[in-house]
């Protein structure tokens, strides 16, 4: 078969999207998922009955149940809802531990084990997209308190899989209630996640009934925006996804050197990429117990003494009297790293 080459001036048509809806229990995540076109729900949590409306579903009892899905199984359906993606990851984790015993230790999966989870998860998503299906990943929300006392939202997903899910998503939005109105918000904030082509404003969610097409219409607008993007916008979108890929890789193997290198790269990135990636970078740093040191202009481990980078005298950095200015060795480090934490 001849290779189909898409020329640089030809449009890249987006037909399928992976979306994440997250929020507190009972907020309406599953119900909103059912407002897509011809949905089928894969029930990983045995809770498919909880939505205000209920469509067709499959009770998933092991990862093999989902792994063996074929295109013919999904005939007549346009959207696959995963409820919840946290439950899916737990099944995947159990599957890897059972089938690849060398990829686990006393603390659970090894780094290679989580790499296997990531590969299997992405292969499965890509298979569904090849079948021509939109995918909606439903996730519970968790909150943690940072070292600064700020409550930050998290997807309630085990281990390093949070980054895997974030990386795979084209759209991610939080469902919440404000002044008795349910809101879907895809704009990333200081304490919340968000991701969507075109960065639409927060949108009120109407009462969803069996005939509602709210999220189907939302996805249609997102696809329309993607397919109308200029070449420059497409490059920014691609660059943002590439930066998120690097952050996801850093989450899998968090090192101080890696944080400083990626912080420098993110600092130099355009503002639109910073706005989309800053929250995820900080969340990964918080999980790895790494914090920004204003004096040195570097990321350092919080929980134990860590030697400064090669060539820097620890005592000089620690004891230098600056009178509001950086000591020469600190200034040199700051200049090297652009001096601005991402």
Among 206, 293, 294, 228, which residue's Cα sits nearest to residue 256? Answer: 293
Q: What is the Cα–Cα distance from 339 to 34, expressed in whole angstroms? A: 47
Q: Higher confidence at residue 1 or residue 257? A: 257
Encode pLDDT of 259-290 as tens digits: 999 999 998 888 888 888 888 898 888 888 88
pLDDT of amino acid 126: 94
Question: Rg for the chain (alpha carbons), in Å?
Answer: 22
Residue 270 phi/psi, 5-degree rounding, is -60, 155
pLDDT of amino acid 332: 43
Encode pLDDT of 145-199 as tens digits: 776 777 777 788 876 778 888 888 999 999 999 999 999 999 887 778 888 887 8
Q: Among residues of the chain, what percentage have pLDDT more than 90? A: 42
Among 165, 45, 159, which residue's Cα sits nearest to residue 108? Answer: 159
Q: List, in order, residues 6 or more apart from 5 with CB less than 8 Å away.
A: none
The whole-chain average pLDDT of the chain stands at: 82
Q: List, in order, residues 6 or more apart from 119 with CB less than 8 Å away.
A: none
pLDDT of amino acid 60: 95
- Alpha-carbon distance values, 70 to 74, 90, 117, 131 (Å): 7, 22, 20, 9
* pTM for the structure as a whole: 0.69
Q: Beta strand pairing status for 181-185 and 171-178?
A: antiparallel
Among 126, 96, 101, 117, which residue's Cα sits nearest to residue 160? Answer: 117
According to DSSP, the residues that pair with 178 across neighbouring strands are 181
Encode pLDDT of 25-76 as tens digits: 889 999 999 999 999 999 999 877 777 778 899 999 999 999 999 999 999 9
Q: What is the Cα–Cα distance from 74 to 71, expressed in whole angstroms? A: 5
Three-state DSSP class for residue 84: coil
Q: List, in order, residues 6 or more apart from 334 with CB less than 8 Å away.
A: 296, 297, 326
Q: How confident is the model at residue 81 (pLDDT cuts 50, 70, 90)?
A: very high
């Amino acid at each position: 078969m001849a290779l189909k080459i898409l020329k640089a001036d030809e449009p890249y048509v987006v037909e399928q999207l992976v979306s994440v809806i997250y929020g507190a229990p009972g907020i309406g995540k599953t119900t909103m998922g059912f407002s897509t076109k011809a949905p089928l729900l894969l029930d990983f949590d045995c809770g498919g009955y909880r939505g205000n409306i209920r469509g067709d579903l499959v009770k998933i009892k092991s990862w093999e149940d989902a792994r063996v899905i074929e295109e013919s199984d999904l005939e007549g359906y346009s959207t696959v809802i995963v409820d919840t993606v946290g439950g899916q990851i737990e099944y995947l984790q159990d599957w890897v531990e059972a089938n690849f015993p060398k990829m686990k230790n006393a603390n659970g999966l090894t780094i290679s084990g989580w790499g296997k989870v990531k590969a299997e998860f992405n292969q499965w998503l890509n298979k569904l997209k090849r079948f021509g299906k939109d995918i909606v990943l439903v996730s519970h929300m968790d909150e943690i308190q940072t070292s600064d006392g700020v409550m930050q939202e998290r997807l309630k997903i085990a281990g390093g899989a949070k980054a895997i899910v974030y990386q795979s998503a084209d759209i991610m939005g939080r469902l919440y209630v404000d002044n008795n109105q349910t809101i879907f918000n895809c704009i990333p904030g200081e304490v919340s996640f968000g991701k969507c082509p075109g960065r639409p404003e927060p949108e009120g969610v109407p009462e969803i009934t069996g005939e509602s097409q709210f999220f189907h219409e939302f996805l249609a607008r997102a696809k329309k925006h993607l397919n109308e993007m200029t070449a420059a916008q497409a490059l920014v979108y691609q660059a943002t996804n590439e930066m998120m890929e690097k952050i996801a890789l850093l989450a899998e193997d968090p090192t101080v050197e890696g944080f400083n290198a990626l912080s420098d790269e993110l600092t130099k990135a355009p503002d639109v990429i910073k706005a989309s990636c800053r929250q995820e970078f900080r969340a990964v740093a918080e999980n790895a117990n790494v914090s920004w040191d204003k004096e040195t202009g570097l990321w350092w481990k919080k929980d134990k003494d860590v030697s400064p980078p090669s060539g820097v005298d620890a005592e000089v950095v620690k004891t230098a009297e600056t009178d509001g200015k950086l000591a020469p060795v600190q200034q040199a480090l700051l200049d090297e790293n652009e001096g601005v934490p991402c």
